[in-house]
Amino acid sequence: MTGPHLVARLREDLATVRRRDPAARGAVETALVYNGLHAVWVHRLTSRLWRAPGLPRLLGARTLARVLSQLARTATGVEIHPGAVLGRRVFIDHGTGVVIGETAVVGDDCTLYHGVTLGGRGVPGVRGRRHPQLRDGVTVGAGAAVLGGVVVGAGATIGANAVVTKDVPEGVVAVGMPATVRPPRGRA
């Protein structure tokens, strides 16, 4: 992504917060006070460093990416590994305590509330996809944990404090510990 495209993406991120949070009063205030937005912006930079062809080994770009992501975690309370993939218009609302692991993929137009974990399951020696994939339009409620290489289908909602360890079909609601799937309200 070139400079002008990156600036356009940052503006899109800012507009996303303003559109999806009724408490966002103006562009300047939003840009200054939303920790979830700051975490997404730093991730855009660290992700570029993490994936830069030839750069990681040559200049220690991956180490720099990890250091910057940890500084961002300290400042924002949101931890996003530089290896994670975030789509467009991702909104992290009240982001404190959000953790997004290295192989996680978050699709376009997803919303994550505070305390969400997109984490691994702690299986030693596992390589490849160890973290969840959220398809487009997924909402994950406060305190929820989505663990392992599961896939959450487009438009699904994960309820607050749910623990998801199995794939979730698109368009459904998953609640509880362990999470069980229910059709959205109005559909039976």
The residues carrying an active-site annotation are 114
Pair 17, 47: CB distance under 8 Å: no
Per the CB < 8 A criterion, the answer to whether 84 and 131 are in contact is: yes
Distance from C-alpha of 118 to C-alpha of 97, rounded to nearest angstrom: 11
Report the Cα–Cα distance between both ends of the chain, in Å, rounded: 43
DSSP letter, residue 160: T
CA distance 85 to 117: 15
Q: What are phi and psi of 105, to 5 degrees?
A: -130, 125
| 146 within 8 A of 126, measured Cβ to Cβ | no
Contact 104, 133 (CB under 8 A): yes
